[in-house]
Structure 1
Amino acid sequence: MRRTCLLYQSDRPIPYLTAWQWQKQLVEERKQARRDGQDLSDVLLLVEHPAVYTLGQGSSLEFLKFSPDAPNIECHRIERGGEVTHHAIGQLVAYPILNLDYHQHDLHWYLRQLEEVIIQALAKFDVPSQRIQGLTGVWINQAGQNKKIAQVGIKVSQWITMHGFALNVNMDLSGFDRIVPCGITDCQVCNLNQFVHDVEIEQVKIAIAKTFAQIFDLELQFYAID
């Protein structure tokens, strides 16, 4: 019998700080349940955020092209790994809250599985994508140049996961001009709609959810975020 995963999604943008707090609450609930000898279902949040920048816990400020205290730019340092990245409407962000006791106690395996979810979901749109050795995320080769379409950054505490990945669908990519994406000086980014015209983010949500369930062998239960 497959393990249950609660899928929460919304048709409106969710503020970054709201989703961050949800994740922390979900993780703590699962830690407490384990201490009580209980088990709670895995969770997948699929959301969009208004424009925001996030820095990994060890990320260098040199990769910002603005002051982190700038009043007109939302920017947060968070507990995930990785460097600075950008979220905005038109980008699908996935936050899996998984108990790796029921999967594998292997962070490299987990990262590769998240990348595989993205790769297989893009394949459903007939878009080939790939990993690049030594780097985290998913890339598309366009006219001989690798461009990043998805960013991956996680935090795992007592084998409970949080944070996850972001897939560029039809967002305004100009926000990446304010940073050195993922700390890679020559990193170019791209959107799915450059390869699949008129693609809607709802279509991508379905593809990601189904692929996620297959990769992690989960049974999804769907819930809408009010």
Structure 2
Amino acid sequence: MGHDHQPTQRLCEVYDLGMMPYEEAWNLQKTWVSRHRQSPQPDRLLLVEHPPVYTLGQGSTTENLKFLESNPPHPLFRIERGGEVTHHCPGQLVGYPILDLKRYQTDLHWYLRQLEEVVIQTLAALDIPATRQPGLTGVWVGDTKLAAIGIKVSRWITMHGFALNVCPDLSGFEAIVPCGIADKAVGSVAQFCPGISVAAVGALVKQSFSQVFKIDLVEGTANSDGSNPAT
């Protein structure tokens, strides 16, 4: 059967938000997730960089902090996602898909593997042989972790997502045990592709995301506060 008879491809709005404070992006996600409860919403992908920040997963321990919770070197947030502590900073590309998994598969493990696959295909386009590690979430080259993944799904609507170290200053990771894994290093795409930019990797992420989730990406039209200028 030729492509003529294929069902219409799904659409996903993509937002390049640039540098945005963590709390602002978090609030934007919550706004759009709550809208899914009120009316049908398009799937969305937010791509963003954050000023330096630490985030703790919902049930994560503070034992993985090498600083006092009351006196962090950068802002510290406890958020709804799974997983342990992580660090966001400039030079790291963060992707927040807000998808209705009822349009895909209502399976959290499937969704986590799809996010890993997006990053693996992105890195493959740069000739970086990235893989998964059995029993661990994220994307690795050997024993070096290039991308962390932590999600929250409620009523099959996703939030939070993946963080890919493109060309960040990795020193901020030294103040934590990243994702609670003490014996493995954190690395970046720039170690394999000197001079790589977040924008270049962002373009590859969009291609991979479109292929893995079998969706067409369109530029988002909502304002950055989550309001839609068309309404």
**Alignment deviations for residues 101-131 of structure 1 (CA, whole Å, 9 cap, x no partner):** 1000000000000000000010000111000
Do the aligned partners of 1:180 and 1:187 also contact (CA within 8 Å) in 2? no
Q: How does 1:49-128 map to 2 (within 5 A)?
A: 49-70=50-71, 72-128=73-129
Q: CA deviation at 1:26?
A: 0.5
Equivalenced residue count is: 216
Answering whether residue 12 of structure 2 is matched by residue 5 of structure 1, we say: yes
Do the aligned partners of 1:48 and 1:89 also contact (CA within 8 Å) in 2? yes
**Alignment deviations for residues 1-46 of structure 1 (CA, whole Å, 9 cap, x no partner):** 11111100133x100000000000000001111xxxxx21100000
Give distance in 1, aligned partners of 2:86 and 2:80: 13
Answering whether residue 186 of structure 2 is matched by residue 168 of structure 1, we say: no
Residue 20 of structure 1, aligned match among 21, 26, 32: 26
Q: CA deviation at 1:187?
A: 2.2
CA separation of 1:180 and 1:71: change in aligned 2, threshold 3 A: closer
Counterpart AA for 1:45 = L
Give distance in 1, aligned partners of 2:79 and 2:205: 24
Answering whether residue 216 of structure 2 is matched by residue 219 of structure 1, we say: yes
Further displaced range: 97-106 or 68-77: 68-77
Counterpart AA for 1:32 = Q
Answering whether residue 206 of structure 2 is matched by residue 209 of structure 1, we say: yes
Give distance in 2, aligned partners of 1:80 and 1:43: 18
Give distance in 2, aligned partners of 1:160 and 1:108: 14
Structure 1 portions without partners, runs of 5+? 34-38
SS in 2 for 1:171: coil
Counterpart AA for 1:188 = A
Counterpart AA for 1:18 = E
Do the aligned partners of 1:46 and 1:205 also contact (CA within 8 Å) in 2? yes
SS in 2 for 1:136: strand
**Alignment deviations for residues 109-154 of structure 1 (CA, whole Å, 9 cap, x no partner):** 000000000000100001110000000000012xxxx100000000
Do the aligned partners of 1:57 and 1:81 also contact (CA within 8 Å) in 2? yes
Give distance in 2, aligned partners of 1:134 and 1:67: 30
**Superposed CA RMSD:** 1.2
Give distance in 2, aligned partners of 1:31 and 1:140: 39
Counterpart AA for 2:148 = Q
**% same residue:** 54
Q: CA deviation at 1:71?
A: 6.0
Do the aligned partners of 1:52 and 1:86 also contact (CA within 8 Å) in 2? yes
Using the size of structure 1 for normalisation, the TM-score is 0.93
SS in 2 for 1:127: coil
Give distance in 2, aligned partners of 1:163 and 1:25: 13
Q: CA deviation at 1:210?
A: 1.1
Q: CA deviation at 1:72?
A: 4.6
Do the aligned partners of 1:3 and 1:41 also contact (CA within 8 Å) in 2? no
Give distance in 2, aligned partners of 1:72 and 1:206: 32
SS in 2 for 1:210: helix
Q: CA deviation at 1:70?
A: 1.1
Counterpart AA for 1:110 = Y
User: Which runs of at least 4 in structure 1 moved beyond 4 Å after TM superposition?
Assistant: none
Using the size of structure 2 for normalisation, the TM-score is 0.91
